[in-house]
Amino acid sequence: MKKGHFYGIHRVIEPKGSLPQPAWKIDNTMTLYDNEILIDVKILNIDSASFNQMKEAANGDLEKVKGFILDTVAKRGKQHNPVTGSGGMLIGIVEDIGVNSPALTKGLKKGDEIATLVSLSLTPLFIEEIIKIEEKTAQVFIKGKAILFASGVYAKLPDDIPRKLALAVLDVAGAPAQTAKMTRKGETVVVLGAGGKSGLLSLYQAKTKAGATGKVIALEYDSSAVKMIEELQIADEVYQVDARDSLEVLKIVEEATNGELADLTINCVNVPDTEMSSILATKDEGRVYFFSMATSFTKAALGAEGVGKDIEMIIGNGYTKAHAQIAFDTIRSATLLRSYFEEKYGK
Amino acid sequence: MKKGHFYGIHRVIEPKGSLPQPAWKIDNTMTLYDNEILIDVKILNIDSASFNQMKEAANGDLEKVKGFILDTVAKRGKQHNPVTGSGGMLIGIVEDIGVNSPALTKGLKKGDEIATLVSLSLTPLFIEEIIKIEEKTAQVFIKGKAILFASGVYAKLPDDIPRKLALAVLDVAGAPAQTAKMTRKGETVVVLGAGGKSGLLSLYQAKTKAGATGKVIALEYDSSAVKMIEELQIADEVYQVDARDSLEVLKIVEEATNGELADLTINCVNVPDTEMSSILATKDEGRVYFFSMATSFTKAALGAEGVGKDIEMIIGNGYTKAHAQIAFDTIRSATLLRSYFEEKYGK
Ligand SMILES: NC(=O)c1ccc[n+]([C@@H]2O[C@H](COP(=O)([O-])OP(=O)(O)OC[C@H]3O[C@@H](n4cnc5c(N)ncnc54)[C@H](OP(=O)(O)O)[C@@H]3O)[C@@H](O)[C@H]2O)c1
Ligand SMILES: NC(=O)c1ccc[n+]([C@@H]2O[C@H](COP(=O)([O-])OP(=O)(O)OC[C@H]3O[C@@H](n4cnc5c(N)ncnc54)[C@H](OP(=O)(O)O)[C@@H]3O)[C@@H](O)[C@H]2O)c1
């Protein structure tokens, strides 16, 4: 077995010297290096911003979306959407483990079912066949293989959570974990894109941490999702609004907070142009957590400066310690939320 | 006088409902609304990432850069570089003040010389003529007018700092102010792009706040700039490296910190693809402050996740309280640094 680099540099084809994530193209030959893990892939969970972009570009034609995915993987060696820059994750069965893989010392065995917790945008992937695309979950069932580098994070799937549900939840595991870390008791938290996967999990953690003296405000676009959030009882108030309409968002948050605005705003929307709404919703010296992959760095930086808002804006790092555990625990404790997720993703 | 909106929405042409910064096109007619300020513009300070991009696209031909600027302002009503998304700032003389401008209560008068502290990417600008472009400072001398909205932040120029120097320093005022806020005593701070305007000011603040028990490491591309930083005595260690070469950056920072890495990394580079270097240079649970406008949101978010780094990544908000004051005070206290800046920007 050839020796692999901890960060997977040995598979970078273009540009040389780059790491696998920023690289344009990586090597997806399925021959194992000494510290890698080979995975027999079952399901890809496409990142929401990416799936949304492909669906729009394909005018909703899922056969075309299939074509986009196959094309991207053929060209780049990974499912790294060239427009949104984002990926997603996968689940599969461990087929082989390199002799020097750190996973060996952690007890990983051939035949274990795992989810990768690093983005598809850096994961060598080979697709033999796309079996089907499930539109409502953005999950793609394939025959194929993938490689996990020595630095790659993964989670074994728990027995008490169905695998499709586990995959959906793990894809956005960073959001509830960061929300839990960032929310302080008594705070007012606004969640944009509250009805999506990451939004719902974040609402629950925000409410748990802000406590009875805090206030969690959910903003959602879709009227049926608004109703669903109300029924799940995980937000103090729910409003229907287009997150791109920054003045309308400002008005709603002003009214809901007596003009005080949010201490913390969590952006979980999957479409572009919602930076300004997040900024205006937040009080001076407050914080904005941009989990959305459709966030533009310059729009956020210059948007806040442009309105003279002294706020801290944080880039949604997909990884934080124990994030998989926190995501699973959220599902385990939030009974109503779990039922909703099970209905959507299967029991 | 017509009534203007606090955030300048009344001048947004396209798309409707947007704020001036994210808007594609704004109205640069120089007729004053009741809460606006009209400025007789003297110098534009083009954002470094933007100037660099235009210079590269023009193969160094400054006449072509002139053309780009005139074209952008004609099309968008503002100097909002469509490629980098960034702007810059300006200085000029107050020509008129709307009767309901909040600046009146703050004592601003016609004839005062001010610098705008909001980005050119949202400032209505009309250029009659570009007199000259100064390459080494990215300053553009023009005949023209600009508008500042009621929400727009500005600073009166102090008597003891030359105006070209003041402009250069104010353009990047967010960086030293945020560095001062973020650096804790005894910390190890790495600054990428340390030899530029924002880099030098940030080095000084980092060293001041980290104190004798802290360590400030400057990374710079250019060998003469490396020497200059050493002479200015504002960093504990200086290394020459290409900030895009993430593995080399990692190696240098590892060696300089006995493998500990940085508590805080400040990215002040003006070229793309330096996210990974910033991430690798930073220790687990450390922080990265991305001041660079060439930062990609997805590259940062997915890059950190890809290598399993639990770090906080902050979007460089150009505004924070007292940032102009902190920037001027930096220049006033750092004697050697001041001489260097005066040599470059004029006394
Ligand atoms: N930082 C990271 O590491 C990371 C990891 C994974 C995902 N993400 C990103 O996080 C975001 C959310 O992901 P997700 O999986 O939770 O997505 P999701 O389940 O598809 O949810 C997206 C939500 O945004 C809502 N939305 C869409 N357009 C809207 C608008 N104009 N106004 C208000 N709400 C709107 C959707 O409402 P509808 O139901 O009406 O469409 C939905 O509730 C995506 O951008 C994704 O790329 C980031
Ligand atoms: N967030 C905000 O509000 C805000 C406001 C203003 C500016 N900015 C951004 O902040 C950044 C710095 O601005 P500035 O005015 O300080 O720029 P600057 O004075 O032009 O400095 C840029 C520095 O980056 C260095 N550099 C360029 N390529 C490099 C490479 N490959 N490796 C290492 N260093 C490299 C340059 O070195 P050389 O001397 O060799 O070129 C220079 O020292 C820019 O991206 C700018 O857009 C942000």
Contact assessment for residue B306 and residue B126, using Cβ atoms and an 8 Å cutoff: no
Segment A123-147 mean pLDDT: 97
- B224 pLDDT higher than 90: yes
Q: To test ligand 2's pocket by mutation, which of B221, B224, B341 has the most ligand atoms within 8 angstroms of CB?
A: B221
Digit-coded pLDDT (tens) for A56-109: 999 999 999 999 999 999 999 999 999 999 999 999 999 999 999 999 999 999
Digit-coded pLDDT (tens) for B34-58: 999 999 999 999 999 999 999 999 9
Nearest CB to A19; choose among B122, B276, B300: B276
| pLDDT for A283 | 98
Percent of chain B clearing pLDDT 90 (strictly above):
96
- A255 pLDDT higher than 90: yes
Distance between CA atoms of residues B114 and B90, nearest Å:
8
Distance between CA atoms of residues A148 and A297, nearest Å:
29
Query: What 3-state DSSP class applies to B91?
Result: strand
Contact assessment for residue A190 and residue A163, using Cβ atoms and an 8 Å cutoff: no
Q: Is the pTM of this model over 0.90?
A: yes
Question: Could you tell me the distance, in angstroms and rounded to a whole number, from the CA of residue B306 to the centre of ligand 2?
Answer: 26
Per DSSP, B11 falls in state: G
Nearest CB to A319; choose among B153, B305, B315: B305
- A166 pLDDT higher than 80: yes
DSSP B153-173: -EEEPPTTS-HHHHHHHHHTT
- Tell me, what's the ipTM? 0.94
Distance between CA atoms of residues A34 and A102, nearest Å:
10
| pLDDT for B347 | 76
Contact B276 A300 (CB under 8 A): no
Distance from CA of A231 to the nearest CA of B (A): 32
pLDDT confidence bin for A197, thresholds 50/70/90: very high
| pLDDT for A110 | 97
A305, burial (CB in 10 Å: exposed 0-12, middle 13-18, buried 19+): buried
Query: What 3-state DSSP class applies to A292?
Result: coil
- B17 pLDDT higher than 90: no
Contact assessment for residue B120 and residue B318, using Cβ atoms and an 8 Å cutoff: no
Query: What 3-state DSSP class applies to A116?
Result: strand
Distance between CA atoms of residues A274 and A66, nearest Å:
28
Contacts of A293 (CB under 8 A, 6+ apart): A47, A48, A49, A50, A84, A85, A86, A270, A316, B297, B298, B301
Look up residue B250 and give its two tokens.
């990692």
Distance from CA of A60 to the nearest CA of B (A): 25
Look up residue B138 and give its two tokens.
């990215």
Cis preceding linkage at B15, omega within 30: yes
Percent of chain A clearing pLDDT 90 (strictly above):
96
Q: What are the residue ranges of helices labelled H in A281-322?
A: 297-306
Q: Which residue has its alpha carbon closest to ligand 1 atom 5?
A: A172
Question: Could you tell me the distance, in angstroms and rounded to a whole number, from the CA of residue B183 to the centre of ligand 2?
Answer: 20
* CATH level 2 (architecture), domain A174-345: 3-Layer(aba) Sandwich (3.40)
| pLDDT for A17 | 80
Contact B297 A301 (CB under 8 A): no
Distance between CA atoms of residues A312 and A282, nearest Å:
10
Distance between CA atoms of residues A181 and A287, nearest Å:
13
Residue holding tokens 């001010």?
B114
- A128 pLDDT higher than 80: yes
Cis preceding linkage at B176, omega within 30: no
> What residues does CATH 3.40.50.720 cover in chain B?
174-345
B251, burial (CB in 10 Å: exposed 0-12, middle 13-18, buried 19+): middle
Nearest residue to B249 via CA among B216, B222, B274, B214: B274
- B165 pLDDT higher than 80: yes
Contacts of B101 (CB under 8 A, 6+ apart): B34, B35, B36, B37, B108, B150
Segment B285-306 mean pLDDT: 96
Half-sphere exposure of A223 (CA within 13 A, CB side): 0
Q: Which residue of A has its CA nearest to B299?
A: A22
Digit-coded pLDDT (tens) for B256-283: 999 999 999 999 999 999 999 999 999 9
State which ligand 1 atom lies nearest to the alpha carbon of A315.
Answer: 1
Nearest CB to A313; choose among B85, B306, B317: B317
Segment A25-42 mean pLDDT: 98
Contact assessment for residue A296 and residue A324, using Cβ atoms and an 8 Å cutoff: no
pLDDT confidence bin for A345, thresholds 50/70/90: confident
Digit-coded pLDDT (tens) for B308-322: 999 999 999 999 999
Least confident range of A96-105, A201-210, A291-300, B161-170? B161-170
Pocket of ligand 1 (CB under 6 A): A 47-49, 86, 171-172, 174, 193, 195-199, 220-222, 225, 242-244, 268-271, 291-294, 316, 318; B 301, 305
